[in-house]
Structure 1
Amino acid sequence: MKKYVGGLAAVSAIALTIAGCGSKPAEESSGSTANKDFNACMVSDSGGFDDKSFNQTSYKGLQDAVKDLGVTEKKAESKSDNDYPTNMNAMVAAKCNIIVPVGFKLADATEKAAKANSGIKFAIVDYNGFKAPIANVKPLVFNTAQSSFLAGYLAAGMSQSGKVGTFGGAQIPTVTIFMDGFAEGVAYYNKQKSKNVTVVGWDATTQKGLFTGDFESTSKGQQNAQNLITQGADIIFPVAGPAGIGGLQAAKASGGKVNAIWVDTDGCVSAADYCSVLLTSVFKGMDVAVEDAIKAAVENKFSNEEYVGTLANNGTGLSPYHDWDSKIPAELKSEIDQLKKDLIDGKVTVASKAQP
């Protein structure tokens, strides 16, 4: 398992017209023609393929499969939640061999399409909550509570105000798992260092906190971040997809008083304009998991066995410190390295119930 290194390559697309809502599915193949008759397909959630977050990272996995395996790409970008059934049906009609739905919100559309089309393989990103396993559906999930634990410890160690903050896009497990891990990492730092760094925006015990209500509105993200900053937070952790960019805008506008940690992908690659305020990012290796699922389908080795990305298999972790590499004390870096080992070995555990 290799670690995600980020970036979204530019692609050209040939539109395939479909009826109904949502975007037009697009098709592309690489210079290789080894598996040109194999259609590898993807449906985004409403954040779109350029969300600088999990849709973008998952889409990179599809692009990598086109490049490495010579499969033909087809995709449908959702503009709203109402587009999911239409876009899923479009991919079925496009004779896809495997469909990769991106995100928790596509679960219902995935289940219906998979049960009605047993000959098509599905690999859904960020969802494993089906009542029973479905023979042709492979969940691709990530224990980001572990990596967010490291991020929380880092934030606590770097905070000058003694307050750090987080907000989410929606109160769903794939969001709160980050917030839980972050809060637990801060608590662990306090315990180890006899400190009292406070988390605003999320209470892991009561499971109550601050949310934008969607993943699209950068203005709401900026408002939520400003709320945290007003409460004294000098490091913020947005878990809100594109809406989280508003949080980075608020941090950058502070003139160095507030910094941030990004999620899903290396923010210094996907949102490079904000690299100067990013201590690090909590990545999920969705690109690798997606390409691996497509490869397995091409080679007739596909199974519905759940994939879980962890610190141990590099399916999740912290991205490089980039601009902050010389600013983060060597002692704190060493502590985080040791903490990662302790989490992998089970010497330190994360309590979040949102963990897969």
Structure 2
Amino acid sequence: MTISRTKKLAGVAAAAGLLVALAGCGAAPETAPTSSESAPEVVEGFTPCLVSDDGGFNDKSFNQSALEGMERAAEELGVEPIEVESSSANDYAPNLENLIAEGCTFIVSVGFKLSADTIASATANPDVNYAIIDDWADADGDGTTDAPNIKPLQFDTVQAAYLGGYAAAAWSEQAGVNKVGTFGGIPIPPVTIFMDGFVQGVEKYNEDKGGSVETFGWDVEAQDGSMTGGFQANDTAKQTAQGILDQGVDVILPVGGPIYQSARDAIADAGSDTVMLGVDSDLAAVDESVADLVLVSIMKRIDQAVYDATMSAATGDFDVEPYVGTLENEGVGLSGFGAFESELPEGLEDELAALQEQIISGELEVTSPSSP
């Protein structure tokens, strides 16, 4: 495990696109203060801290996005954050203990996998504020967080993934392939919610267009499919990606942080024209090695949610009301289509915009067993 103190980390700005996801607590976030505006008054001794899951801060995905959100807040506040990177699940509890020992007053845990250790730490340290990404911190299932000082930061990603699935189907049908696929890291809600929405979006395209696009790698009804067993870009992940490519797909959705790198390598080895969808961040913008492979990314603005929570904790306005990012409050959405903008099927962007409005209005219900 690695503990680091940094004053600033160079962030990656998300590219502007058709359906850019901007998170906020129930509404689109306000414009960040300019350098000419005075910094907010910070409570005495405020020390914001962040602990990653075992994907690490360089995952080009949710851990990195969380780090960027905290770094942006810390810079505006003029405070020094503490970041702790986990290399395995065995690091979670010790990392949280170390953050308490370092004097952290606000701790963000990145991911579902840290839930039990975050609950234990928050219970033992009631004067410290906590937030956790992609989890309710409700181990006993009674509908409330198991410690009164934890704020859940959740995202109804199925809504954005639905749009991504629709776009993937349109792309595949235009190419005459009519086959798309997906695989994930671990079958946990923050992963399977993407896969549910993706498959449902393909089904919507077939319904609306009379299409016959097949989906490989995930069965929504059975909640079962192709998984790598972790979030590492390793041989297992590459073999799993290859198994999907072997079905003849020309669009693939890897869900699980760095495992997209394994999909990239499998595509290169196969010499195929398959494109991929990114998750969490605008993948084409954060990793140049896949910029010419990413059709579009299904985004959840973890960075903005962490920024907002950090700013509220810094000024003494922290509350534990759960935040849920949706299309309506711009906490989730699609990135732009980047290099593929000029090659899209005619009318696709208008169709996606119309679907988004239908989801927001409630005319079209899009949900998943993993929806928050």
* TM exceeding 0.5: yes
Is the Cα–Cα contact under 8 Å of residues 40 and 315 in structure 2 kept in the other structure? no
Q: Which runs of 5+ in 2 are unaligned?
A: 9-34
Aligned to 2:322: 306
**1:250 offset after TM fit, Å?**
2.4
Question: Residue 205 in 1 paired to residue 221 in 2?
Answer: yes
Indicate conservation of the 8 Å contact 1:252/1:277, yes or no: no
Pairing 1:274-285 to 2, within 5 Å after superposition: 274-285=290-301
Runs of 4+ in 1 over 4 A off after TM superposition: 30-36, 252-256
Q: Are 2:109 and 1:101 equivalent residues in the alignment?
A: yes
Matched ranges for 1:149-160 at <5 A: 149-159=162-172, 160=175
CA contact (8 A) 1:169 1:175 kept: yes
Question: What one-letter code is carried by the residue in structure 2 that aligns with 1:197?
Answer: V
Distance 1:140 1:186, change over 3 A: same
1:60 matched to 2:80? The reply is no
Query: Partners in 1 of 2:179 and 2:295 — Cα distance?
Result: 16
- The answer on 1:328 being equivalent to 2:341 is no
Instruction: Write the letter of the residue equivalent to 2:166.
Output: Y
Out of 95-104 and 67-76, give the one that drifted further.
Answer: 67-76
Structure 2 matches for 1:169-318, cutoff 5 A? 169-255=185-271, 257-318=273-334
Provide, for residues 121-147 of structure 1, a one-character-per-residue CA deviation record: whole Å limited to 9, x for no partner.
001011115133231100001011000
- Percent identity, aligned pairs only, is 40
Aligned equivalent of 2:47:
39
Following superposition of structure 1 onto structure 2, how do residues 99-138 of structure 1 map, counting pairs within 5 Å?
A: 99-130=107-138, 131=140, 132-133=144-145, 134-138=147-151
Pick from 56, 69, 88 the counterpart of residue 96 of structure 2: 88
**TM-score computed with the length of structure 2 as normaliser:** 0.86
Read off the aligned partner of 2:179 and give its amino acid letter.
K
CA RMSD, aligned part only?
A: 1.7
**Structure-2 separation of matches of 1:82 and 1:37:** 29
CA-CA distance at 1:281 after TM superposition: 0.3
Using the alignment, how far apart are the partners of 2:195 and 2:86 within structure 1?
26
Deviation at residue 224 of structure 1 after TM alignment: 1.4
- Compute the displacement of 1:329 (Å): 2.5
Structure 2 residue matching 1:72: 3-state secondary structure: coil
* Distance (whole Å) between structure 2 residues aligned to residue 194 and residue 129 of structure 1: 43
Q: Indicate the residue corresponding to 2:57 in structure 1.
A: 49
Work out the CA distance in 1 between the residues paired with 2:105 and 2:169.
46
Aligned length: 334
- Structure 1, unmatched stretches of 5+, are 1-21
Letter paired with 1:200: F
| Counterparts of 2:247 and 2:346, CA distance in 1 | 29
Could you list the per-position Cα deviations for residues 132-170 of structure 1 after superposition, in whole angstroms to 9, with x for gaps in the alignment? 323110000101100000000000000031110000000
3-state SS in 1 of match to 2:371: coil
> For the Cα contact (< 8 Å) 1:145–1:182, is it kept in 2?
yes
- State the distance in 1 between where 2:272 and 2:337 align: 16
Cα distance in 2 between the residues matched to 1:56 and 1:122:
19
| Equivalent residue, structure 2, for 1:18 | none
- TM-score normalized by structure 1? 0.90
Which residue, out of 345, 353, 356, partners 1:340? 356
Tell me which residue corresponds to 2:366. Answer: 350
Q: Secondary structure at the match of 1:99?
A: strand
SS at match of 1:241: coil
